[in-house]
Structure 1
Amino acid sequence: MFLRKSLVQIACLLTLSSPVWADAGHTYDFGQPAPAAKATRSVEVVMGDMSFTPKAIDVKAGETVRFVLVNKGQLLHEFNLGDAAMHARHQQEMLQMQQSGMLTPTGMKSMDHGAMAGMDHSKMDHGMKHDDPNSVLVEPGKTAELTWTFSKATNLEFACNIPGHYQAGMVGKLTVSQ
Structure 2
Amino acid sequence: MPARFLLPLLCAFSLPALAGTGHYAFGKPAEASKAERTVEITLGDMYYEPASVQVKAGETVRFVLNNQGSLLHEFSLGDAAMHAEHQKHMLMMQQMGMLGADGIKPMDHSQMGHDMSGMDHGQMTHDDPNTVMIAPGQSAELTWTFTQASGLEFACNIPGHYQAGMVGTVEIKP
- Identify the TM-score tier after normalising by the shorter chain: 0.7 to 0.9
1:1-178 superposed matches below 5 A: 23-24=20-21, 26-116=22-112, 128-178=124-174
- Name the Cα RMSD after superposition: 2.2
Matched position secondary structure for 1:154: coil
Distance 1:135 1:50 in 2: 17
Quick one: which amino acid aligns to residue 85 of structure 2?
A: R
What is the match of residue 8 of structure 1? none
Structure 2 gaps of 5+ residues are: 1-12, 14-18
TM superposition score normalised by structure 2: 0.80
Contact 1:107 1:139 in 2 (8 A): yes
Distance 1:49 1:117 in 2: 37
Structure 1 residue 117: deviation in Å?
A: 5.0
Contact 2:80 2:151 in 1 (8 A): no
Q: What percentage of residue pairs aligned between the two structures are identical?
A: 61
Contact 1:71 1:138 in 2 (8 A): yes
**39-48 or 145-154, which moves further after superposition?**
145-154
Change (3 A) 1:67 1:115: farther
From the CA coordinates, give the structure whose radius of gyration is larger: 2
Structure 1 residue 114: deviation in Å?
A: 4.6
TM superposition score normalised by structure 1: 0.79
